[in-house]
Amino acid sequence: MSLSFEAAVRSRGFDVELAVEAGETVAILGPNGAGKSTLLTLIAGLLTPDTGSAQLGERVLFDVPSTGRGRWLPPHRRGVSLLAQDALLFPHLSVLDNVAFGPRSTGMPRAAALARAATWLERVDASHLGARRPAQLSGGQAQRIAVARALASEPALLLLDEPLAALDVSVAPAVRRMLRDVLADRTAIIVTHDVLDAFTLADRVVILEAGRVVDAGATRQVLDRPATPFAAGLASLNLITGTAEREGVRSSAGDLIGVRFERAVAAGARAGAAVRPARVSVWAHEPHALAAAQNVLSGVVTDLEPRGDIVRVRSAELAADVTPGAVAELDLVPGSPVWFSFAADDTVAYAL
């Protein structure tokens, strides 16, 4: 079932319009406080908007005009399940009864509800846990049960609020794999911080910033051609925004960046240029005698972030991945003046 949604919550500066096709999984990405959880609570019916309307299939979830009385469907009649970061299994019920809770609540006879619960426990590889109490489960197990519980109520729409964020890194991959299986062909919205979740689980991503949608589209496209610094950060890309010219992109700072245009961009139009940190070199002195197709920009080191066998060197505008040996050789510390160089060929430009 498809979802159409638009709502505003003034006190939170939230004003979002969103559509989800039937069977589609949409990932919501955005910095803290962007309004991701507000979006989910509005759809689930745990918060009422100031204005807006939402419809799930034929069902009107809410319809609140700016004046006059509107309609508002209580959470239990929406057919929307919410899976949170914490599993929130009911501590007084066994695992099986937790999963059977949804079907039982909608009037299914106990035996049938338990049978359905058993089926769902099997789907999440947790059949052997049925008799346990939630307190006897590990975090990964609990989240599997929570998924089974959310799906056993056969929601028309499944909402997932950072379902993997509270899990140990060692168990997250298995739960992510399980989610990928159960989310196939299911209408779902997943809020996440992790770009990996977006790639594995979502068909489409929507980027929220400060209560507004700033970018949306197919996952790969949004993350390969980021429109905002946040999206670029998620995708681990350097993003330079500016104006398209015939020879390249004129950055906001006034530098002309040599780029490779994927598709022609009209001169004078807003454009972004993206380059991977791994393709950026760092120099302690201004480099000379470089090939003509190299961009050189100066900057000041703000941060050195070790990442396994490389170190990410950041300035206010750019990031570059270099070896620890290079950092030592160049004697880089925060505050060091440096020059960055990167090839025009590695720099992809696109219209914003």
Partner 1 sequence: MSSRRSSPYAGVPGWVVAVAIVGASFVVLPLVAMITRVNWGEFIPLITSESSVDALWLSLRTSLAATALCVVLGVPMAIVLARTEFWGQKILRSLVLLPLVLPPVVGGIALLYTFGRRGLLGQSFEAFGVTIAFSTTAVVLAQTFVALPFLVLSLEGALRTVGTRYEAVGATLGARPTTVLRRITLPLVLPALISGAVLSFARALGEFGATLTFAGSLQGVTRTLPLEIYLQRETDPDAAVALSLVLVVVAVIVVAIAHQAGERNGVGFGRRRDS
Helix (H, G, I), strand (E, B) or coil at 123: helix
Under the binding rule (CB under 8 A), the answer on residue 156 touching partner 1 is: no
Residue appearing with tokens 């219209």: 351
Structure tokens given for 71: 């309609």
Nearer to partner 1, 105 or 252 (CB): 105
Nearer to partner 1, 68 or 91 (CB): 91
Binding range to partner 1, per CB under 8 A, among 100-108, 194-202, 206-214, 307-315: 100-108
Under the binding rule (CB under 8 A), the answer on residue 105 touching partner 1 is: yes
Please, which of residues 282-301 interact with partner 1 by CB under 8 A?
none
CB 81 within 8 A of CB 43: no
Q: Is the dihedral of CA 147, 152, 153, 157 positive or negative?
A: positive
Under the binding rule (CB under 8 A), the answer on residue 119 touching partner 1 is: no
In whole angstroms, what is the distance from residue 147 CA to residue 172 CA? 13
In whole angstroms, what is the distance from residue 342 CA to residue 50 CA? 49
The residue from 139, 173, 217, 287 that contacts partner 1 (CB under 8 A) is 139
Residue appearing with tokens 């990442």: 307
DSSP per position, 152-206: HT--SEEEEESTTTTS-TTTHHHHHHHHHHHHTT--EEEEES-HHHHHHH-SEEE
Return the bridge partners of 350, or none.
272
Nearer to partner 1, 142 or 227 (CB): 142
In whole angstroms, what is the distance from residue 42 CA to residue 62 CA? 9
Under the binding rule (CB under 8 A), the answer on residue 273 touching partner 1 is: no
Structure tokens given for 263: 């598709």
Nearer to partner 1, 172 or 280 (CB): 172
Under the binding rule (CB under 8 A), the answer on residue 169 touching partner 1 is: no
Under the binding rule (CB under 8 A), the answer on residue 263 touching partner 1 is: no
Nearer to partner 1, 153 or 241 (CB): 153
CB 137 within 8 A of CB 128: no
Under the binding rule (CB under 8 A), the answer on residue 90 touching partner 1 is: yes
In whole angstroms, what is the distance from residue 141 CA to residue 342 CA? 46
Under the binding rule (CB under 8 A), the answer on residue 92 touching partner 1 is: yes
Binding range to partner 1, per CB under 8 A, among 64-72, 99-107, 192-200, 254-262: 99-107
Nearer to partner 1, 75 or 217 (CB): 75
The residue from 142, 237, 249, 313 that contacts partner 1 (CB under 8 A) is 142
The residue from 75, 173, 217, 229 that contacts partner 1 (CB under 8 A) is 75
For residue 344, the one-letter residue type is A
Under the binding rule (CB under 8 A), the answer on residue 81 touching partner 1 is: yes
Nearer to partner 1, 29 or 87 (CB): 87
Binding range to partner 1, per CB under 8 A, among 62-70, 147-155, 226-234, 343-351: 147-155
What Å distances lie between residue 129 and 117, 133, 153, CA to CA?
12, 9, 19
Under the binding rule (CB under 8 A), the answer on residue 95 touching partner 1 is: no
Under the binding rule (CB under 8 A), the answer on residue 57 touching partner 1 is: no
Could you tell me the end-to-end alpha-carbon distance of the chain, in angstroms, rounded to an integer? 32
Under the binding rule (CB under 8 A), the answer on residue 134 touching partner 1 is: yes
Rg of the Cα trace of the chain? 24
Under the binding rule (CB under 8 A), the answer on residue 116 touching partner 1 is: no
CB of 139 to partner 1, least distance (A): 6
Under the binding rule (CB under 8 A), the answer on residue 79 touching partner 1 is: yes
Structure tokens given for 274: 């993206």
**Which residues form the interface with partner 1 (CB under 8 A)?**
44-46, 74-82, 84, 86-88, 90-93, 101-102, 105-106, 134-142, 149-150, 153, 155, 159, 168, 171
